Structure 1
């Protein structure tokens, strides 16, 4: 069936591409398949054809678009400055959600109150002892199997508590991150207060990132409006998220508002932070969104290097997306596992005591890999807060 009234915006964005191919070395899916259709310029050509009515959205064509991780390594490498993020969002909105999108599972993950309640019940029932066996009974390609295998055995930390009214910064907890990464959010508050900042914590809810990138345009706009309402009520001047995967969506919802990674602000006042020595080797995984959206890699390394005796080694760079990519690991678990294996392979040589990653989806995905089983995973902010000498 042909698309109705294909938007001109997609064709205009596609026309910026000069088909030079400099994006290919930065594309994880091209490295995986060595297929032009699985490359950025191949997807741009498909999007342009769909937008102009020159092609119909067959299952085969849309599969290449659905496979895209949205890592934006191509956008950073592009000499023509193609706005690939906008093109991908617009095209997926045009096509609508993929048939294999696990709506019920994602609906659960987007409701932090329900997710936290279920995690508490699971802890009381000793789920850590039987959840793995339950997951293995599910079909190999089941998104529920993937989700259960990633679930941490430890109960979630308490939600962080912010400062009173008048705070200059607002922290966005998110959905899954507010449950599974609450420790990192509390660590951010501890470090920011030590650096002299006042932080207000917004209510926990989904920013709409998975909906926006999966083509659920109406649901994504509803989430964006909720973000705008919470932001206006906060009275803050800058918004923060410890989850790089939320930053792009928050910026999309709040045009003109500074939306930042806390690491960037902490680096600006790094001289106020003193850390205890930690004689340990840690491997640092850089999420795509931290490298290509937050652009906070230098700030993170600056802060980690202030911890005496800490040996920080970085995992290799692109094309090195771990395969988590929002809901990608649930929709395409086989492809996600291949990308994870390639990301974790260097750990055998690096032999770290811990694996650091700032994005909760990446960290849960990496921790579920066989190669990562012997290493503790942690948010860099959690490590920094644990070693902080001058806690407020």
Structure 2
């Protein structure tokens, strides 16, 4: 431990990052059985830890979605795409009926397409063609009216990118994003018919994922050349009103980093709970929808008051204890604007794979967790990683 502390102290000379908090972050990453932790401050690498695991590309899970978003911005900059308001039917002429003709690229980017989807992905992985799977799905809501974290819709977005680029998503990003950043050791998973996945699929080295964050923190510039326009970074990472309203503070497939965290039992939370508890009990919690709580204890107290201390409350208690994580598709937190603007943005994937970018203080952090069979016990998602990175710098 002394060696690690000395190394951190050396790296941090001249930096305003709190060395003790950084050391605590490293220890927290170690205790959560992380596969890798990378932290940059002011463009300098201050932590690179692999905790004994081999350095190889790690599947970043749903953090892949945020990389897909970058492809859209690059296409617009190159004039291959007019705007995010182009309808999907432009690229798939038969995509009409039931309101599908109204779906735009913006809707796919903001989880507001209305395409019917499940919270899990089993039905997607069981299909041979992920894009067709999305095209064939009916609508559950009119486009632009509701938020639903939608893996199926992002797979369709990957297809749209390929149509607009004139080549598959992975090949386009290889030329426009990965090669300019010197990223060569990566893999992008495809469905059985060869479509690059959009909802997940990117396996990448931890430090290469950090490179993408460094480029974004520098306004989209890498080694003097613009890779992603600053205008797109600003637009795509700006949290949308609809996502805030539904307790999912996201922009164009990026999560917003709020300056304080508050809990909310949202419509989405209730829908998930219905899959794991009697619907009759969950429906009794409807009066609590979209109320904001300072912490888990106050949220649990509100549910107890509504249900009483008996069997129904005890049935819900395990689910209530899952509240309190940073925003995700399944355990939302919200910031209602009382704590100031979002100081950064991040990509997030299953198992706790993160890329956190705080441009205002020039901090980039990556935590990755490989689904490695050598790991024993449950894989810890390090739920408070974003908050731990935010704590490194005072005044945010």
Q: Would you say same fold, with TM above 0.5?
A: no
TM-score, normalized by length of structure 1? 0.30
Q: Which has the higher helix share?
A: 1
Q: Which has the higher strand share?
A: 2
Higher relative contact order (CA 8 A, sep 6+): 2
